[in-house]
């Protein structure tokens, strides 16, 4: 049985789809129910942090708080997000 791709929910108010080509950063998505995801926003990458810590910091930066254990997030490099939109 073929699985359907996850459905993206509309981005939260204030999310800017136009991004600078020169900044490295992340797009942060939050898992809702089932396979539904919501774009929370994009943040610049923190210089000097290893990749895993940088992605965790991106979630905290977007939320402006610590995530709870029952929340799930996906963090994509901004460059990959642009490639995914270019189809």
Quick: pLDDT tens for 6-62: 555 555 555 555 544 557 899 999 999 888 999 999 999 988 999 999 999 999 999
Domain boundaries, the chain: 23-85
The answer, yes or no, to whether residue 73 has pLDDT greater than 80, is yes
**Torsions phi, psi for 22 (to 5 deg):** -95, -15
Angle at 18 between CA 13 and CA 21, to 5 degrees: 140
Percent of the chain scored above 70 by pLDDT? 74
**pTM surpassing 0.75?**
no
Report d(CA 77, CA 25) in Å as an integer: 6
DSSP state of 63: H
Q: For the segment 51-70, what is each residue's pLDDT rounded down to a tens digit?
A: 999 999 999 999 999 999 99
């Amino acid at each position: 049985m073929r699985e359907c791709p996850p459905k993206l929910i509309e981005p939260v108010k204030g999310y800017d789809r136009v991004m600078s080509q020169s900044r490295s950063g992340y797009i942060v998505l939050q898992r809702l129910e089932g396979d539904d995801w919501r774009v929370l926003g994009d943040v610049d990458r923190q210089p000097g942090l290893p990749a895993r810590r940088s992605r965790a910091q991106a979630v905290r930066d977007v939320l402006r708080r610590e995530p709870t254990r029952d929340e799930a997030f996906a963090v994509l490099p901004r460059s990959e997000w642009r490639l995914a939109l270019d189809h």
